[in-house]
Structure 1
Amino acid sequence: MNLKLPEQYKHTLFYSSQTHEIEVSEDSKFDPYFAADLIALHHDEKPWEALEKWTGLIQEEWNDLSAEMRPLFEGHADQTYDPMVKGLSLFLTLLYWTNEKHVSVLTWEQDIKEFEVSIMNAQERISFVMKRPAVYFSFIQLDEMFRELLKTSAKFSAIRKRKRGI
């Protein structure tokens, strides 16, 4: 299906401001960038209500991407740009969903200041990866950010469940 691409996804790293529509399959989870969030937004769904399921899927996708990229940094770093951008889209999706919000890459710097769940020095670290996605140190940073967010997300998820009596 073709979906209108809302402004909130139009950051130059992911989509140009001229991109008005993208093709997304209902079964698609992570292609194109933010597909799961876009589909959820289109259907007025809240994917964070099934965060544990999505966390596992996002983690699995990152693990696959990470394994694919690791050897490329030894001589073929130019081939890591697209997988790194995809990895960053996965990270931002998990970060937003952990905070029970739809993704907005246009306002992430402001949004992150108000998030209950985040990682240490999130703004500086995300900015670093966004500016240099195909650099090995960005890969290491993104991998570390995923690990931290997954731990923090699990902790907050358990706390929220307890508060809600689930």
Structure 2
Amino acid sequence: MPKYVIPEKMALKPFFTEGEMIEISIPETFHEAMTSGYFILDLLAEKTPYYPWIEQQKLLPDIFAIWKSEKESLRDMIAKRQKRLAELPMRQQLANLLNVLFWLNGEQITSLQDWKQRVAMFDLQPVNAHERLIFIMERPVHHHAFIQLEQLYVELEKLMQKQFAIYNKQN
């Protein structure tokens, strides 16, 4: 599997540190891209056949399906205080949520360094998304972080469905 050095612009705790080396391969399926690492489609944008910031209606619902299939297991790990087991899936789901937030607004994640400023400019975002995301990033394996993540998924899915309905009505 090829190694990829994380550039400064993509370094953000709790996902990556600058200069970190990760093993990454071109995903065969969208599901694989969304479950095998953080921001893979953004890091390898020119090398994959998936462009969810453009093909929103086709691809974004799959991310919510992934969340729904994994959230009870994650809830159980958090409830049992299995922090080590919960850490990676929690980060993956947080990364996926950030992806949805950007992609729903038609933007690829080209940098995580300026995510706060970019999110502040989005038309489509849950209430207080910025503050809630910071809270989750600072303590990803705490019960309240899970609750916030779960609520952000619910709110973002409603925004997505509303946006798709508006788009489909106009076209």
Q: Scaled by the length of structure 1, what TM-score is found?
A: 0.86
**Partner in structure 1 of residue 56 of structure 2:** 51
Asked whether the equivalents of residues 8 and 106 of structure 1 are also in contact (C-alpha less than 8 Å), the reply is yes
**Alignment match of 2:150 (pick from 143, 146, 154):** 143
Residue 157 (str. 1) matches residue 159 (str. 2):
no
Whole-Å separation in 1 of the counterparts to 2:19 and 2:43: 17
**Partner in structure 2 of residue 101 of structure 1:** 107
**Partner in structure 1 of residue 13 of structure 2:** 12
**Partner in structure 2 of residue 77 of structure 1:** 82
C-alpha distance after superposition, 1:8-54 (max 9, x if no partner): 42212111101256412331312211113333344596323321232
Asked whether the equivalents of residues 98 and 153 of structure 1 are also in contact (C-alpha less than 8 Å), the reply is yes
Alignment map for 1:25-44 (pairs within 5 Å): 25-27=26-28, 28-30=32-34, 31-42=36-47
**Matching residue's letter, 1:48:** W
Identity of aligned residues (%): 27
Q: Scaled by the length of structure 2, what TM-score is found?
A: 0.84
TM-align CA RMSD: 2.2
Gaps of 5+ in 2: none
Shift of 1:84: 0.8
Q: Number of residue pairs matched?
A: 164
